[in-house]
Amino acid sequence: MGSGAEHGESELHGALRAALGDVTVLAEPAAMEPYRRDRALDPDAGVPLAVVLPESTADVQAVMRWASAHGVPVTPRGSGTGLSGGATAVEGGIVLGTERMRAIRIDVDTRMAVVQPGLLNAEVKAAAAAHGLWYPPDPASFEICSIGGNAATNAGGLCCVKYGVTADYVLGAEVVLADGRAVALGGPRLKDVAGLSMLALFVGSEGTLGVITELTLRLLPAPPPARTVVAWFGSTERAAGAVVAIASRVRPSMLEYMDRLSVNAVEDVLGMGLRRDAAALVVARSDDQHPDGAEIAAMLRAFADHGALEAFEAEPAAGERFAQARRMAIPAVERLGPLLMEDVGVPLPMLADLITGVEAIAAARGVAIAFIAHAGDGNTHPLIVDDPGDPGHAARARLAYGEVMELAIRLGGTITGEHGVGRLKRPWLVDQIGEDLLGISRRVKRALDPDGILNPGVIFEADDGPA
Amino acid sequence: MGSGAEHGESELHGALRAALGDVTVLAEPAAMEPYRRDRALDPDAGVPLAVVLPESTADVQAVMRWASAHGVPVTPRGSGTGLSGGATAVEGGIVLGTERMRAIRIDVDTRMAVVQPGLLNAEVKAAAAAHGLWYPPDPASFEICSIGGNAATNAGGLCCVKYGVTADYVLGAEVVLADGRAVALGGPRLKDVAGLSMLALFVGSEGTLGVITELTLRLLPAPPPARTVVAWFGSTERAAGAVVAIASRVRPSMLEYMDRLSVNAVEDVLGMGLRRDAAALVVARSDDQHPDGAEIAAMLRAFADHGALEAFEAEPAAGERFAQARRMAIPAVERLGPLLMEDVGVPLPMLADLITGVEAIAAARGVAIAFIAHAGDGNTHPLIVDDPGDPGHAARARLAYGEVMELAIRLGGTITGEHGVGRLKRPWLVDQIGEDLLGISRRVKRALDPDGILNPGVIFEADDGPA
């Protein structure tokens, strides 16, 4: 490695092009620029040797064989919507973008989709829906995030509270290893325990173990219709209490939380009449089909029991507007300033402590933190709003960013519920999982990528590998 | 190693007892005998050095530290109901039985159970039910199999077709590594993507990577009531076609299959009026609560479309009797002779080919094979009935056993859907997953158990490790 783009079209470029044949290779700085960072906008992103855009498994194998032979690091990249810096270019490395790998095949009889990694989540959903089927996982970015990236990060979303995360839908994968070999993990079988669960290990490995070149996904029949209930609270703790009560008694298909700051930011954009005075908004859905409506009743009772200012079932159209308000939260808060986006999770009973603890951090550091959450599964997104006009602010925001993760760990939680560790959260990983688990994880990483060329710096320190 | 029980109370025993303090150590051959084999009754089981019965994580750590220091292999053992020889004693090794690790704590707010591994699946279910909660995974052996064994094999069951397998319910685990260190994997968090998915790797690893000492399990609210439909078919292919049609359109909470031989064996025992003349019985359940009963209607329509001799919705009590008939199948067929139990799975559209292929193998080898299946997820249990009175029979039954696995592999299937590879199916594993995947799996095994002391001979060849 070490041959950065400053060399222009070097001998190394020539060798790469020769090895890759028809595969698109970008080497001009301007052409590579959009591929250097994901949405985490890591300021330390390197200038890669090249960006390659394979179209087939064989193409990816050729890239990995070449990179392996030359000791060049490879950053696998989906559509670049990652929020933890998991797709940050390495100086002199190769960015392997999967955007041209877009084939999909739906098998109605087995309710499965076989997809290449570059297809967007929304495109998978649409292809399934065309057959009356449903691919549930729904990251808020589902319209722009790739299905390969979803599997690489084990992405979550809003419906996970009832329908599970990406891992629950990945039945099989084809992955290309560091040395260029392609292996099939799992397959179109609903139950398969033959050998170690290598498939489950690869899902969520953030490109550190191999490059996903194909996924076999489980689909469900079309989703049942859902009813929406909404509650406004005067206190964040009471809202959290209602969330815990609901999640412990019924199976909501959505259970989301927004605080005052995020509600006001959304109201600024949408002007839909949201209550600017309330401390928190909870939006819940039930798709239980029992005619007695017991789940809806239990939700409304939990709201009342926890002192909601107001709680009601929304008509379908209004319910959809509340769900849209929740999906709009991140872009709306982003209008207030650049965001440091958290993704911390806690055991549900700790939700109120996390919320009040984050409020305390915001006050102590003098930074604004909007708090939105997939509350039903304890996965929250405190959004730290930077103020570029205030010179000391960025440093205080960074401190708050770490303190929120440390708080989550103290509460028995996780530094990342669905975005991944990437580069941004790597310094805190050991605080959560401990030296022993990090140590055996590193041994597994080395067992599969002995030269450390796959996404170095993500999850593990780049210099962890013997290479 | 090499110091077998023939030495009686040797120096090694003294050292082991001294190292383990209060932990129960069995060293008498008679006392150890019940711990030498699981239900696979492996004739090659060794005579262990000792059977240890720890009661705590610290006890297990002491065992593993001692075993590691002395290079003595350890066979983790739950309640010994495994069907693949995953808990077969190694000559001169230690059998680590978890039967005295039986604590359980239910957290109603988070709908979770924290359990030690020795508790039986049925006891976990009962403890959850006492709080109005439900632990879904239901191996047919649920009344006698341990929850730790369930996690170690990623056990399945009847409700998996809708509710998933054991892995879908394991949120956290404490495991003791080969060297005696205890690490916490996952935890009481519904979403957590911090680091490699080591938890998912350990689930289903059959005691080859560590010893599970505690599990955090996700629970659901009490199961909804279900309706049962039953169909008799004159042809196994038509029954398989109906199964595929149902599974592709709706979400049955149970979808089971029995062939003529198994139906007759059960009728011999229960005398409940099952049709002895039919080629196959399909029992399906729906717990969809929509008042239109569309799932039940779709099931009955699929039965009619595929030429059922007879199809009907059973009253609740009758429906329960049909489910019992299915659960009774293995013990009933066992009355015909010792069984070689298969656990092969195929992609659903291949189900009819698997059934007819197994029929062909039975005819060619001159052995009786009863065919029962968790048909809705393509996981089947051909039961090869041995005839001890026929001297050549056992050899032909062994040949058929391998041929059924090879058939499943040819059909794109798996040699084991829920029982595990253990020792019995190890020779066929490479045929399914290939040398490359087996190779990287072995590297992962060595990364975690470099001396190869954890359950040697299970999944991997015992001499695979450098030790």
Kindly state whether A247 is in contact with chain B, defined as any CB-CB distance less than 8 angstroms. Answer: yes
Domain final position from A99, A123, A140: A99
B204 and B241 part of one domain: no
A288: in domain: yes
Q: Using alpha carbons only, give the angle B19, B25, B26 rounded to the nearest 5 degrees.
A: 150
B466: in domain: no
- Using CA coordinates, name the residue in chain A closest to B203: A197
Domain final position from A188, A206, A221: A221
- How would you write the pLDDT of chain A (467 residues) with one tens digit per residue? 444 444 457 899 999 999 999 999 999 999 999 999 999 999 999 999 999 999 999 999 999 999 999 999 999 999 999 999 999 999 999 999 999 999 999 999 999 999 999 999 999 999 999 999 999 999 989 999 999 999 999 999 999 999 999 999 999 999 999 999 999 999 999 999 999 999 999 999 999 999 999 999 999 999 999 999 999 999 999 999 999 999 999 999 999 999 999 999 999 999 999 999 999 999 999 999 999 999 999 999 999 999 999 999 999 999 999 999 999 999 999 999 999 999 999 999 999 999 999 999 999 999 999 999 999 999 999 999 999 889 899 999 999 999 999 999 999 999 999 999 999 999 999 999 999 999 999 999 999 999 999 999 999 998 644 43
B121: in domain: yes
Domain final position from A186, A204, A221: A221
A38: in domain: yes
Instruction: Report the Cα B429 to chain-centroid distance in Å.
Output: 16
Spatial distance between the Cα atoms of A82 and A88, rounded to a whole number of angstroms: 10
Interchain pair B349, A109: CB under 8 A: yes
Interchain pair B347, A188: CB under 8 A: yes
Number of H helices, E strands in chain B: 15, 18
**DSSP track, B229-286:** EEEEES-HHHHHHHHHHHHHHS--SEEEEEEHHHHHHHHHHH-S---SS-SEEEEEEE
B59 and B158 part of one domain: no
Q: Is the Cβ–Cβ distance between B421 and B459 less than 8 Å?
A: yes
> For strand A94-97 and strand A50-53, is the pairing parallel, antiparallel, or unpaired?
parallel
B450: in domain: no
B94 and B111 part of one domain: no
Spatial distance between the Cα atoms of A37 and B90, rounded to a whole number of angstroms: 53
Interchain pair A224, B183: CB under 8 A: no
B143 and B273 part of one domain: no
Strands in B73-219 per DSSP E? 74-77, 94-97, 104-107, 112-115, 133-134, 170-176, 182-186, 211-218
Which range of residues forms the domain containing residue B78? Answer: 5-99
A385 and A338 part of one domain: yes
- Give phi and psi for A160, each to the nearest 5: -60, -30
Q: Which of B288, B348, B447 sits opposite A289 (nearest CB)?
A: B288
Partners of B51 in the β-ladder: B26, B95
B421: in domain: no
Interchain pair A192, B416: CB under 8 A: yes
Q: Is the Cβ–Cβ distance between B255 and B243 less than 8 Å?
A: yes
Q: Kindly report the nearest CA distance between residue B377 and chain A, in angstroms.
A: 5
- Map tokens 């050095």 to a residue: B49
Q: Testing the interface with B: which of A192, A424, A441 to mutate, by most B Cβ within 10 A? A: A192
Spatial distance between the Cα atoms of B106 and B119, rounded to a whole number of angstroms: 13
**In sequence order, what are the residues at sequence separation of 6 or more whose Cβ sits closer than 8 angstroms to the Cβ of residue A391?**
none
Which residues on A lie below 8 Å from B109 (Cβ)? 244, 248, 348-349
B359: in domain: yes
Spatial distance between the Cα atoms of B165 and B20, rounded to a whole number of angstroms: 35
- Using CA coordinates, name the residue in chain B closest to A216: B347
B289 and B209 part of one domain: no
B323 and B377 part of one domain: yes
Kindly state whether B254 is in contact with chain A, defined as any CB-CB distance less than 8 angstroms. Answer: no
A242 and A388 part of one domain: yes
B28 and B71 part of one domain: yes
- Map tokens 């975690």 to a residue: B448
Q: Which of A201, A291, A447 sits opposite B291 (nearest CB)?
A: A291
Q: Which of B183, B348, B412 sits opposite A436 (nearest CB)?
A: B183
B199 and B238 part of one domain: no
pLDDT in tens, A31-45: 999 999 999 999 999
Domains: count for chain B:
3
A214: in domain: yes
What is the interface pTM, i.e. ipTM, of the complex? 0.95
Strands in B27-179 per DSSP E? 50-53, 74-77, 94-97, 104-107, 112-115, 133-134, 170-176
Look up the CATH number of the domain holding residue B174. Answer: 3.30.465.10
- Give phi and psi for B353, each to the nearest 5: -65, -35
Spatial distance between the Cα atoms of A139 and A163, rounded to a whole number of angstroms: 13
Interchain pair A190, B420: CB under 8 A: no
Which residues on A lie below 8 Å from B432 (Cβ)? 194-195
B85 and B188 part of one domain: no
Kindly state whether B130 is in contact with chain A, defined as any CB-CB distance less than 8 angstroms. Answer: no
pLDDT in tens, B242-265: 999 999 999 999 999 999 999 999
Look up the CATH number of the domain holding residue B389. Answer: 3.40.462.40
- Map tokens 């179109």 to a residue: A188
Q: Which letter does DSSP use for residue B134 in this model?
A: E
A383 and A355 part of one domain: yes
Which residues on B lie below 8 Å from A346 (Cβ)? 189
Kindly state whether B61 is in contact with chain A, defined as any CB-CB distance less than 8 angstroms. Answer: no
